[in-house]
Amino acid sequence: MGVKKYNFYAGPAILPQEVMKKAQAELLDYQGIGLSIMEISHRSKEFDAVIKSAEQKIREIFGVPENYWVLFLQGGASLQFGMIPMNFLNKESAADYVHTGEWAGKAIKEAKLFGKVNIAATSEDKKYNYIPDKFNFSSDAKYVHITSNETIGGIQFQNFPDTGNIPLIADMSSDIFSRKIDVSKFGMIYAGAQKNIGPSGVTLVIIRKDLAEKCASGLTTMLNYKTHIKEPSLYNTPPCFGIYIIKLVMEWIEKLGGISGIESINNEKAALLYKTLDTSSMYRGTTDKNSRSKMNITFRLTTEQLEEKFIKEATAAGFIGLKGHRSVGGCRASLYNAMPLEGVKELVKFMEKFEKENK
C-alpha cells in the first residue's frame, strides 16, 4: 500500500474520496445509459438533470435567495477579474477595491483597464499579513470588490464590510462553501471551483438580478453576463464533467450536515494546526491572529534550510503540497473542506516529531 498520502495543495485541491469513487464508478456508464457524462450532449435530458440539480443544491446549501442568478462559467476567477469591470465600469465611472494581497492585486490591475479604481483599504504596509478593518468607500462607486480569502498570504475576512447601497462583490475562490455567510449582503459572489467545490475548469457566479440588469451593452457575447443568464449557462458547451462533480460535492456536503456541519469541522481542523504553531518554538504563523485563514495556513520555520528539510521529510511521510507559494516562500497547509480531520491530526504529529528531532 505504501505511505498514506494527505493532499495539502492550494489548488487544484483535494476532492472528497467519496465523490471521486462515485465518479469513477459512473465514468464509463452514467446511470445506465451506456455512455460517460463526458461524452453526452450538454443539451441531453441527462445533463439537463445534472446542471439543474447542481444549481438547486447550491441554492439550498448556500442559502441563495430567489433574486439571484446562479451561473456556471469558465475562465476561472482570473477571467472574472476583467469581466466584472467590463460589465459594470466605463472610463467615466469608478469602483472601490480592498487590496489584501496577490489575488486582490490581480483584480485591481484588470479593473484599471476599464475605469477608475479607488483603493478603499489596503494591508500593503505589513506585506498583506492582515485584513483591514477601516474602509474609505466612495459614494459614487459602482461596486466594492473584496477577496474573501487570500490563498497565498493566508488571510481571510472574518466579517464582511457594510457597503450600504453599493453592491459588494467578492472573490470567494478559496473559501466558498467553507462557512455560513449571508448571500443577500452581496451583489455578486464568484469562485473558481478548484478549491472547495469541484475540479478546475468551472467558475461559479452568483449574481443579484438587479445588478445583472446593469451590465453594459456592446460587449463581446461570451463576456456579457446577460448571455449566460438568458441561456442558463448553456450558450456554449459548458464544462460538463466539472458541473457533474460539483453536483456530487454538493450531495456530499449535504450528508455532512450542510454548511453548518462543514464549518464545524473546518473550525476544528484550523484550531488544531494553529495551536501547534502558537505553542512551538520552531514554527510560527505569518499572519495577524485576527485575520487568520482557516483554509490556507501559512507558517515559517526558524531557518530556510530547516524549511527545506521539513518539506522534504513531510513529502516522504505522505504530506503533499506543503511548500509555500513561490512569491512568499515558507510553508502552507491548505485545509479545504475535503481535507479530513485525520489528515490534520497526522500532520500535527509529524510536526511535533520533526521539532523534537531537529532542536
Active site amino acids:
103, 171, 195
227 vs 265: CA distance, rounded Å: 38
Are 317 and 241 within 8 A, CB to CB? no
Are 338 and 13 within 8 A, CB to CB? yes
Length of the chain: 359
55 vs 357: CA distance, rounded Å: 50
Are 298 and 285 within 8 A, CB to CB? yes
Q: Inter-axis angle of helices 45-62 and 240-255, to 10 degrees?
A: 40
Q: Please, what's the b/e burial string for 214-227 (b: 16 or more CB within 10 A of its CB; e: otherwise)?
A: ebbeeeeeebbbbb
What's the maximum distance between 2 C-alpha atoms anywhere in the chain? Answer: 64
Are 341 and 265 within 8 A, CB to CB? yes
97 vs 119: CA distance, rounded Å: 5
49 Cβ contact list (under 8 Å, min separation 6): none
Which residues share a beta bridge with 6?
319
Among 20, 7, 10, 9, residue whose Cα is nearest residue 249: 20
What sign results for the dihedral spanned by CA atoms 333, 335, 336, 338?
Answer: positive
